[in-house]
Amino acid sequence: MNFLQRIIIEPFESCYEKFLTFMPNLLTSLALLIIGIVLGGVLRIVFLKIFRAVKLDRAAKRVGLFEMLARGGIKDSFSAFVARLVGWFVVFTFAVVAVQTLKIPTVENLLDRFFLYLPNVFTAVVILLFGYLFGNFFGRAALIASVNAGLRQSGMVGRFVKITIFILSVTMAMEQLGIGRDTVLIAFAIIFGGIVLALAIAFGLGGKDVARNYLKRNISSDDKEDDGTRDDIDPL
């Protein structure tokens, strides 16, 4: 009898007790998850209405966020996208709380580490977002300025500025995440330094005639030559 008690009944009793202890946690956890899903849905609709009321889509279009989403294959409007993010964020938060409610030590430990790392992920995402926006903005500014200056390589100049800023932001984001910290920095420094050096040499060699003509025109005391190709139109 003792043997039977020790080998079969006690483990079952112990398991049952654990199950009884775990059951409320599981139910609470499930309840939290359901509340999270419902709340996430409600908040998504509420935020969508708010964003539409403040005309967020127009602002997003202006700063290039709409274009960014479209390129990323997202067909939603920016308002709908952000409202969806808000909804998922609520669901995710409730899911994490629900998992913690289960009080499983291994999961708790993993969650602690995850939460400690989360600010880095958030910062990295913000850096990437700003990198994308600044890259687009300054890339477009450089493109327009070089077209107006009559540079044949305007497209390349615009893309160069845009990509450089984005690469810089990726480097910063990766540093924030602690991924290959030194390697990424050194690689960026080498690539960027290399490009600048290459451009300096290219301009130096290719532009020496332009520089000579410019200096001749502006420093020489002789009157400027009119080769018949100047525009004298007064635009105002």
Distances (CA, A) of 53 to 58, 74, 88, 112, 200: 11, 22, 21, 38, 50
> 106 or 229: whose CB is closer to another protein?
229
> 84 or 159: whose CB is closer to another protein?
159
> 7 or 53: whose CB is closer to another protein?
53
Which residues lie near another protein (CB under 8 A)? 58-59, 61-62, 137, 140-141, 143-145, 147-148, 150-152, 154-155, 158, 226, 228-236
Give me the least distance between CB of 198 and another protein, in Å please. Answer: 22
Give me the least distance between CB of 219 and another protein, in Å please. Answer: 14
**DSSP one-letter string for 113-124:** HHHHHHHHHHHH
Give me the least distance between CB of 56 and another protein, in Å please. Answer: 13
Buried/exposed code over 85-106 (b: 16+ C-beta within 10 A; e: otherwise): ebbeebbeebbbbbbbbeeeee
Give me the least distance between CB of 231 and another protein, in Å please. Answer: 5
**Whether 159 contacts 139, CB under 8 Å:** yes
> 44 or 162: whose CB is closer to another protein?
162
Give me the least distance between CB of 165 and another protein, in Å please. Answer: 16
What CA–CA distance (Å, rounded) separates 158 from 213?
26
Report the largest interatomic distance among the alpha carbons of the chain, rounded to a whole angstrom: 120
> 62 or 75: whose CB is closer to another protein?
62
